[in-house]
Amino acid sequence: MKMNLKKLLGKENVFLDLKSSSKKDIIKEMIDRLVVSGKIKDREAALEAVLTREEKMSTGMENGIAIPHGKTDSVDQLITAVALKKEGVDFDSMDGQVSTIFIMTISPQSRSGPHIQFLAEVSKLLKEPEAREMLLAARTVEEVIRVFS
């Protein structure tokens, strides 16, 4: 069964204009925006979960994509966010390139199914150069969501 990525993305968790310029600050900024949107209630627990995971191994992938993620019981369902920073940020990526597309997930400790499924769907989609180009060219939240649907 395919996961409905579009259902997981809305105005409140797609960010076109990240301001931060370091890995840690990008993660903080995305979490802060999810807190403001009401998606995350315990900022510290979420931040700690993602930063702890990042310390184990960088989530900077290839082709400008970073997938910071973490698990904490301070959320009761999968929380996702998509963010763009067209200038890119050094995220210790596998290919040494800067990251421009950030996909964040935070999920409950006890439930790995939805988290893994979401990452698999997103990875499959973002393997396509056209999908990455469309994301980086997006000017509106709706255009970003369209790439995922």
Distance CA 131, CA 119 (A): 15
pTM of the entire predicted model = 0.93
* Tens digit of each residue's pLDDT, the chain (149 residues): 566 777 788 889 999 989 999 999 999 999 999 999 999 999 999 999 999 999 999 999 999 999 999 999 889 889 999 999 999 999 999 999 999 999 999 999 887 788 888 888 888 899 999 999 999 999 999 999 999 88
Give catalytic status of residue 115 as yes or no: no
Cβ contact 42:72 at 8 Å: yes
| Domains of the chain with bracketed CATH | 9-147 (3.40.930.10)
Dist. CA 4–CA 58, nearest whole Å: 27
Active site residue: 23, 33, 39, 69, which one? 69
**CA distance readout (Å), 121 to 18, 41, 52, 90, 128:** 23, 26, 24, 24, 12
